[in-house]
A and B are shown apart, each in its own frame.
Chain A
Amino acid sequence: EAQVTQNPRYLITVTGKKLTVTCSQNMNHEYMSWYRQDPGLGLRQIYYSMNVEVTDKGDVPEGYKVSRKEKRNFPLILESPSPNQTSLYFCASSWSGGGTGELFFGEGSRLTVL
């Protein structure tokens, strides 16, 4: 089954404790991206990757890091989480660039930073 898998789905952590949200896709997509969803703000792009070892900032990259060492994986790293990073996070992938074709989203990861 074609899918985008995120882990963990739910996480409560404390300020400053490094965490990683994993994302994996099995569709051989070159493009992957991370979004955060907040009430009244829609989906905002954090980082995206056009291919292995190629990443770029989205609209809200501050406080986040990413890496793309393998085509299927695109982890999101919060080196020192803060309460304003409490949000619902979605990973997505696409056969084309995210701006030209369908995005396939993961199920989301709800993060709470205390």
Chain B
Amino acid sequence: GENVEQHPSTLSVQEGDSAVIKCTYSDSASNYFPWYKQELGKRPQLIIDIRSNVGEKKDQRIAVTLNKTAKHFSLHITETQPEDSAVYFCAASSNDYKLSFGAGTTVTVRA
């Protein structure tokens, strides 16, 4: 099955700086790569996703890049704000019904 590795496990950034989280996947057939954000004590929520026919996608301060050849994808958060503090999960899917998640990255934005 699909194996998703996520780094780093924790990330502390100064407010206003950028944050980057990287993930690798094992199944070259994977074609859907979402990112979920989980605030403390809350449920995970989708923040952005990318499909294998696209190399980059942006939504305001967040962007995701995908390198299919290297089998890795990354989340970029620019101009970080305190409300960006959360756990972020990457995920990958090679079929319609199974989504494999990374272990998560705890992001702390320092004021």
Query: Could you tell me which A residues sit within 8 Å of B by CB distance?
Result: 31, 33, 35, 40-45, 48, 50, 56, 58-59, 90, 96-100, 102-103, 105-108
Given known A-B contacts A42-B89, A43-B101, A97 and B96 have beta carbons under 8 A apart: yes
Smallest CB separation, A5 vs chain B (Å)? 11
The contact of A42 among B34, B46, B95, B104, by CB within 8 Å, is B104
Q: B61-111: which residues lie under 8 A (CB-CB) from chain A?
A: 89, 91, 93-104
Q: Are B97 and A98 in contact (CB under 8 A)?
A: yes
Q: Which residues of chain B have a CB within 8 Å of any CB of chain A? A: 1, 4, 6, 9, 32, 34, 36, 42-46, 49, 89, 91, 93-104
**How many A-B contacts are there with CB distance less than 8 Å?**
66
Query: What are 26 A-B contacts with C-beta separation under 8 Å?
Result: A31-B97, A33-B99, A42-B4, A42-B6, A42-B102, A42-B103, A42-B104, A43-B101, A45-B98, A45-B100, A59-B1, A90-B44, A96-B96, A97-B97, A98-B93, A98-B96, A98-B98, A98-B99, A99-B93, A99-B97, A99-B98, A99-B99, A102-B46, A102-B49, A103-B46, A107-B43
CA distance A103 to B98 in the complex (A): 11
Nearest-CB residue, chain A, relative to B103: A42
